[in-house]
Structure 1
């Protein structure tokens, strides 16, 4: 009987890496009073202006419930506003001036986190990792 080598489990290794990377980005994002997840949502709203909840959830590969919870916190803090879409059913989101100011404060921290990861892996491995993660996200 062949023994399985669970040290090569993609799921286990991907989750461990995701948790470690999330902790690193969270430590930096906390300096401006948000989580890395909230930062990602805020950036996505800024990038895909006036998109619906479904569009954002798809863009972030996030379930709608988690997205709505994150957006509610951003709205509560005055960083995002929502409005009903033309059909009156879906919501559309946009970043407020306060949200834009916070993003400007957070971007240098995000850049530092990116640089930290790149230095940890080396530039070639960093780019290969990004490519592999993008391909895996299409699985």
Structure 2
């Protein structure tokens, strides 16, 4: 593979970095049959206990239509199930809890590997800068 153009664009560099990190985590999470995006959704649903699509999407920072698309594979695989509540409300199924438990062990290992790769200072910088950028508005 040839070396990528060394861009000075902040957005390009962040997107490339995000893609590389997603591939890093996705590769490891294949064992749990989840992607990092699916893991993130399940972690947040677990934290919430149960949530309707609107509340869940607000908690994870996705628009509602994107959330609906992302929920479908989780639902069809039996990882989440309907729950009582306002609107379409979901909770983790027993299968989803098991998948999340398995994936969490892998995720923790990948977090440690990422911190070893970057060093503690740069790993902390990613969290600090990422948090700040999430507040970026036009």
Distance 1:85 1:113 in 2: 35
Q: Extract unaligned runs of 5+ from structure 2.
A: 1-5
The equivalent residue for 1:58 is 58
Q: Is residue 129 from structure 1 mapped to residue 126 from structure 2 by the alignment?
A: yes
Structure 1 portions without partners, runs of 5+: 1-5
The CA deviation string for residues 72-93 of structure 1, in whole angstroms up to 9 with x for no partner, is: 111111110124633xxx2111
| TM-score in terms of structure 1 length | 0.86
Distance in 2 separating the partners of 1:93 and 1:84:
8
Aligned residues: 131
Q: What's the counterpart of residue 36 of structure 2?
A: 36
Could you give the per-residue CA deviations for residues 23-53 of structure 1, whole angstroms, max 9, x where no partner exists?
A: 0110011111121111111111111222221
Separation of aligned partners in 2, 1:76 and 1:84: 19
What is the CA RMSD across the aligned residues, in angstroms? 1.6
- Taking structure 2 as the reference length, the TM-score comes to 0.87
Q: Does 1:69 align with 2:69?
A: yes
4+ aligned runs moved over 6 Å, structure 1: none
